[in-house]
């Protein structure tokens, strides 16, 4: 183990990572240098070359890849060892880093023990490599120096016999000194003559191969000691040296007497006599066996990593595909759920139309006065049916949100009118319990852009919730203020029993009821607040609950002042339901009713019977088309779903007839989604009357179109 203090450069843009690595290197007794990107690192390297670089890959200014390319393209810095440390553990980034010249890698988060072991291993190999290079250079320099000294002494031979004798002695002495230097050098040194036979073999070579000098002298180096696959390349190197061309840093394997393989880094130079003639080759070697083993281990490690990464990638792809299949399955389930709810909504609305319509007619006493008991039952039927209809509508809205088919229709909306209209709608209910609703608008904004109907639905749900839990004679307060420059804040506070902290989040879950028996008794279904939360979130707001000072519940929600998309700029005002609407009866009107359900057709006839008009009922769209020319109606009430020919097809065909291009056609349907309404208008319907049909709504829409056609 080499304990020499080394300089290690840490290049990472994350200060926390730099600090961790800095402390780890200090604990190892080395000197850490810090740089936050590749550009800073290169500036520091030019001033002080480190022994090792710990390099992050993803950095600003200059990333790890660019830094590596620069280092490895410059001969001054290309031998600096680089250990990649990156959070990117995928195959591509690792391979790319190695291709750019990195010696090894670690992925974040790393194990400190492994990090220290890798650093120590790198530094030990580097110092060993540097030491062997220094020894080789020393041998080469001394060899050249002694050769010059020998050459100089030999030249003195020409000066005379005495001088010759002295020179010969000096030459012999220099040659002896050179031989001693070669024999005792730390690096393995061998020599060959012009025939390739060994004539030099120092102690380091003996120690490396376990062949003593006498065993190898006179033997052919290449034929007897070089493996078959390297014979030609080693011959080329030696032949180049015999031709006067030096070779540096040539690697080849040399086997010991016992057959162990040693990897040698060779510098081969020509050997000359006193006349400058080449007499052989001197080879100075360096044992790089450990470096070669490390490189091969790194290659194996890379290959193993590539296999592991490929396996993990395949597993990830399988997991992603499984996740994709699961998502598709869940989307399919969700779609089927939405389709089921939509279908059930349609199917439930049809019989509800009969219940609500009949109760409506009874309640308004169209066919004679009812006694108090009968009237109370009529009201009970209406109330129960309305509650069921509200539940169906909420479920349908939830399904549309889940399916992603619900769209907002943002409009400029007055905050004051919003509050007044929603409180007005529930005025009768508040009066029954002698509850006062106190409204304060403290916002600096008079208007916001939002879906007016959805906002009404939000407030009505919250007010209905507050109404249920507020005792008779108590108050409900509404306060609107500014949450910040982008959102308004709406608070609805009741005087009820309050909500425990553990239920603050749960109350917004579907079908959750804090006290099921109590909530069911009060008429709760567990859908209202869940739907309210989703409608608020669709607008980009939030809703939460707090305990009110009064002991009741304080529900708070935010809405953005401006929606990203606004399709209308005009202010929308609520149109209150008008009682006693009627159309002009001075002239008898012709109304064609296309409805396949006898109960619904009978109800519509009864609702229209109090007015002087002429009505004809048909069972499908084809019969409606056949009746047009002979009956010539002033208005058509057309169901959408019918046998033989549905309402959409029939309406489209009617619009193709020039004489009926402006004929009012009202859709009577249980399909109440925005998409359904859009399709109906596109096919040629003039308006939309949702089932269950209420008497007042029917008269209002009929009055609207028949009065306009007088």
- Domain span holding position 69: 7-110
| Parallel, antiparallel or unpaired: strands 589-594 and 635-639 | parallel
Residue 367 lies in a domain: yes
Predicted local distance difference test score (pLDDT) of residue 565 = 47
Residue 20 lies in a domain: yes
**Two tokens, residue 170:** 């000096």
- Do 486 and 520 share a domain, yes or no? yes
Question: For the segment 142-161, what is each residue's pLDDT rounded down to a tens digit?
Answer: 556 655 655 565 555 445 54
- Do 381 and 424 share a domain, yes or no? no
Residue 293 lies in a domain: no
Higher pLDDT, 208 or 505: 208
Q: Which of 255, 287, 319 is the last residue of a domain?
A: 287
- Do 416 and 548 share a domain, yes or no? yes
Is it the case that residue 568 has pLDDT exceeding 60?
no
- Do 82 and 176 share a domain, yes or no? no
Among 161, 114, 125, CA closest to 51? 125
We report the CATH number of the domain holding residue 223 as: 3.30.450.20
- Do 417 and 395 share a domain, yes or no? no
Maximum average pLDDT range among 269-273, 301-305, 333-337:
269-273
Residue 94 lies in a domain: yes
- Do 536 and 603 share a domain, yes or no? no
User: For residue 614, what are the β-bridge partners?
Assistant: 590
Q: Where are the alpha helices (DSSP H) in 452-509?
A: 452-469
Question: For the segment 324-383, what is each residue's pLDDT rounded down to a tens digit?
Answer: 888 888 777 777 766 676 666 666 766 776 777 777 777 777 777 888 888 887 777 777
We report the CATH number of the domain holding residue 695 as: 3.40.50.2300
- Do 497 and 600 share a domain, yes or no? no
Cβ atoms of 320 and 313 within 8 Å: the answer is: no
Say how far residue 571 (Cα) sits from the centre of its chain: 39
Cβ atoms of 201 and 183 within 8 Å: the answer is: no
Residue 128 lies in a domain: no
- Do 393 and 414 share a domain, yes or no? no
- Do 414 and 504 share a domain, yes or no? yes
C-alpha to C-alpha distance for 634 and 695, rounded to whole angstroms: 20
Is it the case that residue 124 has pLDDT exceeding 80?
no
- In the chain, the number of structural domains is 5
Residue 100 lies in a domain: yes
We report the CATH number of the domain holding residue 352 as: 1.10.287
Predicted local distance difference test score (pLDDT) of residue 624 = 92
Q: Which of 400, 422, 456 is the last residue of a domain?
A: 400
**Two tokens, residue 272:** 């000359």
Per-residue pLDDT band at 566 (split at 50, 70, 90): very low
We report the CATH number of the domain holding residue 470 as: 3.30.565.10
Q: How many CB atoms lie within 10 A of CB 694?
A: 20
Question: For the segment 192-203, what is each residue's pLDDT rounded down to a tens digit?
Answer: 999 999 999 998
- Do 344 and 478 share a domain, yes or no? no
- Do 419 and 542 share a domain, yes or no? yes
- Do 546 and 603 share a domain, yes or no? no
What is the pTM assigned to this prediction?
0.42
Per-residue pLDDT band at 570 (split at 50, 70, 90): very low
Residue 569 lies in a domain: no
Residue 575 lies in a domain: no
* Phi and psi torsions of 199, nearest 5°: -130, 5
Q: Which of 341, 372, 400 is the last residue of a domain?
A: 400
Q: How many CB atoms lie within 10 A of CB 259?
A: 6
Among 602, 670, 694, CA closest to 363? 694
> Could you check whether the bond before residue 549 is cis, i.e. omega within 30 degrees of 0?
no
């Amino acid at each position: 183990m080499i304990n020499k203090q080394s300089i290690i450069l840490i290049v990472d843009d994350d200060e926390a990572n730099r600090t961790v690595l800095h402390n780890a290197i200090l604990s190892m007794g080395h000197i850490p240098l810090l740089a936050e990107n590749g550009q800073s690192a290169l500036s520091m390297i030019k001033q002080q070359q480190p022994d090792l670089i710990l390099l992050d890959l993803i950095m600003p200014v200059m990333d790890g890849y660019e830094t590596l390319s620069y280092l490895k393209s410059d001969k001054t810095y290309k031998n600096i060892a680089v250990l990649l440390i990156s959070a990117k553990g995928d195959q591509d980034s690792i391979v790319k880093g190695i291709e750019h010249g990195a010696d090894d890698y670690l992925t974040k988060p790393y194990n400190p023990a492994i990090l220290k072991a890798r650093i120590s291993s790198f530094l030990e190999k580097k110092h060993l490599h540097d030491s062997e290079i220094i020894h080789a250079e020393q041998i080469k320099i001394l060899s050249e120096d002694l050769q010059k000294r020998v050459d100089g002494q030999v030249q003195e031979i020409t000066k005379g016999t005495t001088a010759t004798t002295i020179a010969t002695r000096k030459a012999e002495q220099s040659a002896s000194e050179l031989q001693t230097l070669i024999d005792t050098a730390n690096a393995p040194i061998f020599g060959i003559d012009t025939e390739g036979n060994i004539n030099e073999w120092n102690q380091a070579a003996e120690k490396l191969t376990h062949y003593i000098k006498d065993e190898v002298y006179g033997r052919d180096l290449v034929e007897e000691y070089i493996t078959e696959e390297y014979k030609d390349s080693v011959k080329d190197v030696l032949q180049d040296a015999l031709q006067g061309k030096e070779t540096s840093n040539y690697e080849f394997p040399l086997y010991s007497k016992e057959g162990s393989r040693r990897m040698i880094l060779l510098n081969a130079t020509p050997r000359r006599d006193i006349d400058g003639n080449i007499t052989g080759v001197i080879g100075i070697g360096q044992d790089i066996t450990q470096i070669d083993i490390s490189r091969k281990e790194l290659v194996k490690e890379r290959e193993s990593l590539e296999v592991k990464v490929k396996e993990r990638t395949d597993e990830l792809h399988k997991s992603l595909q499984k996740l994709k299949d699961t998502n598709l399955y869940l989307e399919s389930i969700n779609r089927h759920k939405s389709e089921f709810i939509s279908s059930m909504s349609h199917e439930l609305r049809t019989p509800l139309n009969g219940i609500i319509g009949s109760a409506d007619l009874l309640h308004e006493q169209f066919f004679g006065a009812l006694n108090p008991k009968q009237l109370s039952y009529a009201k009970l039927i209406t109330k129960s049916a309305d509650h069921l209809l509200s539940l169906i509508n909420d479920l349908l809205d939830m399904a549309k949100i889940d399916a992603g088919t619900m769209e907002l229709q943002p409009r400029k909306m007055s905050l004051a009118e919003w509050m007044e209209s929603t409180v007005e709608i529930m005025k009768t209910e508040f009066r029954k319990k002698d509850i006062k609703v106190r409204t304060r608008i403290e916002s600096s904004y008079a208007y916001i852009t939002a879906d007016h109907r959805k906002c009404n639905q939000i407030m009505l749900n919250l007010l209905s919730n507050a109404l249920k839990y507020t005792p008779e004679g108590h108050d409900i307060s509404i306060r609107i203020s500014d949450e910040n420059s982008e959102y308004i804040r709406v608070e609805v506070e009741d005087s009820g029993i309050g909500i425990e902290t553990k239920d603050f989040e749960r109350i917004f879950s579907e079908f959750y009821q804090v006290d099921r028996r109590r909530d069911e008794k009060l008429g709760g279904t567990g859908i209202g607040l869940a739907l309210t939360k989703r409608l608020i979130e669709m607008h980009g707001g939030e809703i939460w609950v707090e305990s009110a000072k009064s002991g009741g519940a304080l529900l708070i929600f935010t809405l953005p002042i401006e929606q990203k998309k606004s399709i209308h700029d005009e202010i929308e005002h609520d149109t209150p339901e008008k009682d006693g609407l009627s159309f002009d009866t001075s002239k008898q009107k012709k109304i064609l009713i296309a409805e396949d359900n006898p109960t619904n057709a009978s109800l519509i006839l009864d609702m229209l019977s109090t007015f002087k008009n002429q009505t004809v009922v048909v069972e499908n769209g084809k019969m409606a088309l056949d009746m047009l020319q002979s009956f010539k109606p002033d208005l058509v009430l057309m169901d959408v779903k019918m046998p033989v020919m549905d309402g959409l097809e029939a309406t489209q065909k009617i619009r193709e007839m020039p004489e009926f291009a402006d004929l009012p056609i009202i859709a009577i349907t249980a399909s109440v989604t925005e998409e359904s309404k859009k399709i109906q208008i596109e096919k040629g319907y003039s308006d939309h009357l949702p089932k269950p049909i209420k008497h007042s709504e029917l008269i209002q829409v009929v009055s609207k179109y028949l009065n306009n056609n007088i």
